[in-house]
Copies of this chain bind each other. A is one copy, B any other.
Amino acid sequence: KTFVKWMFLATITGGFGGIVGSLFNMCIVYVTKMRNKNSWLIFLLPLGGLLIVFLYRICKMDKNSGTNNVIKSVRSEEDVPFLLAPLIFIGTTVTHLFGGSVGREGAALQLGGSIGEMTGKLIKLNENDMHIIRMCGMSSVFSALFGTPLTATFFALEVISVGIIHYSAFIPCLLSAVLSYKVSLLFGIIPETYLLPYIPLLSMASFFKTIAIGIVCAVVSIIFCVGIFGTNKLFKKWLRNPYLRIFVGGVIIVALTFFLGTTDYNGAGMNVIDRAVLEGKALPYAFLLKMIFTAITIGCGFKGGEIVPTLFIGATLGCVLGGLLHFNPAFSAALGMVGMFCGVVNCPIASVLLSVELFGSGGIVLFATVAAVSYMMSGYYGLYSGQKIVYSKLRTEFINIYTKKEY
């Protein structure tokens, strides 16, 4: 029956997704180490950009919208082109090697979508089941990359059409995510979890401070989404040639890095996140700089995700807000991560589960609060223009609109 069929399909997708995700994860970790050892690599960023544009051009994928393409394919009959997978794999690795400011989850979704597509095509699934298997792919690669199987599952279920959850994909996505997670452990990947030094009790004070952090996260989320899209539009307007565009963008990142004299804002910046969440330390303007670096890197054409930068921004922003509100800065950093994540992807359930998988169950009510506030106050902005918000954030109304990026 259906259960056995999906056990089988999810095992294939999860296993394959787990292997690809783990290899990708190891590549990113490896090139990050290389870059940290050889600081001159940053100079090659503009050249790396040229390579990325060249690869996408010869594969005729330069018009493809990547992650949005995958998100839309779950809702429609559109196919995910297979070439997306190797291109985003190489593109993201190159961007990380030379120090562009990106994450890896955009790649996770695109790799996953392609893997799901391939598996589905191979077994000749009907269109209805193709939707589910694409979600399986997304959930499995996400899980291998972040080590958070439940967040991966609900992210895949929730991100496509916010407000509707296709539970028919629950078992398939969960099986894929868990298997993929186990595969990533076999590859020796250690999932990120943070042991928070201090979790405040649920009191009126901590509740209202959390609400305040949620509101700021919502505002910064909007600025971030609008900023990324706006930078991209400006780049396209001024520099019509994509080679020139990415080259100039690369040069700006190199110049900024030198001007600041730190590589904190290049690559994923996990060390900065760790410092904020574990020690409660962050520079007051770090979140702003990360936003600028990320907007330029992605805006000019480099490849990679926006989620890890979002978590970086949330952690450093939260940390600073904690100081201002007389709230534990490490815990505030964790709240900021969850609040920013929810603000840009519009996925409250995945956000709550992310908090449990990263930080444990101690502060779950406060994490849910920051997610709820950030969700409600961040308007209909979002990172993925392929995403639809099905119900109004303020009324029980059916609206079914695409998320915006423009102000």
Chain A contact residues, CB within 8 Å of chain B: 2-3, 128-129, 131-132, 149-150, 153-154, 162-171, 174, 178, 181-182, 202, 204, 207, 348-349, 352-353, 356-357, 360-361, 364-365, 368-369, 372-373, 375-377, 390-397
Task: Report copies per complex.
Answer: 2
Instruction: Point out the residues of chain B lying under 8 angstroms from A182, CB to CB.
Output: 202, 204
- 10 A-B pairs, CB-CB below 8 angstroms? A128-B396, A162-B167, A163-B164, A168-B394, A169-B396, A174-B369, A174-B372, A356-B361, A356-B364, A360-B361
Instruction: Point out the residues of chain B lying under 8 angstroms from A132, CB to CB.
Output: 396
- Tell me if B372 and A170 are in contact (CB < 8 A): yes
- Tell me if B166 and A376 are in contact (CB < 8 A): no
The CA of A376 and the CA of B168, in the complex, are separated in Å by: 7
The CA of A397 and the CA of B166, in the complex, are separated in Å by: 8
The CA of A109 and the CA of B315, in the complex, are separated in Å by: 38
Instruction: Point out the residues of chain B lying under 8 angstroms from A373, CB to CB.
Output: 3, 171
The listed residue (B368, B376, B394) touching A153 by CB distance below 8 A is B368
Instruction: Point out the residues of chain B lying under 8 angstroms from A163, CB to CB.
Output: 164-167
The listed residue (B128, B360, B369) touching A395 by CB distance below 8 A is B128
- Tell me if B391 and A168 are in contact (CB < 8 A): yes
Known: A168-B376, A168-B393, A168-B397. 17 other contacts (CB 8 A): A3-B373, A128-B397, A150-B368, A163-B164, A163-B165, A163-B167, A165-B391, A167-B391, A168-B391, A168-B396, A169-B396, A170-B348, A174-B369, A178-B202, A178-B365, A356-B356, A357-B364
Chain B minimum-CB-distance residue to A75: B396
The CA of A182 and the CA of B121, in the complex, are separated in Å by: 53
Known: A163-B166, A397-B128. A178 touches B369 (CB 8 A): yes
Instruction: Point out the residues of chain B lying under 8 angstroms from A349, CB to CB.
Output: 154, 165, 349
Query: Interface centre among A171, A207, A369, A393, by most B CB within 10 Å?
Result: A171
- Give A4 Cβ to nearest chain B Cβ, in Å: 11
The CA of A150 and the CA of B362, in the complex, are separated in Å by: 13
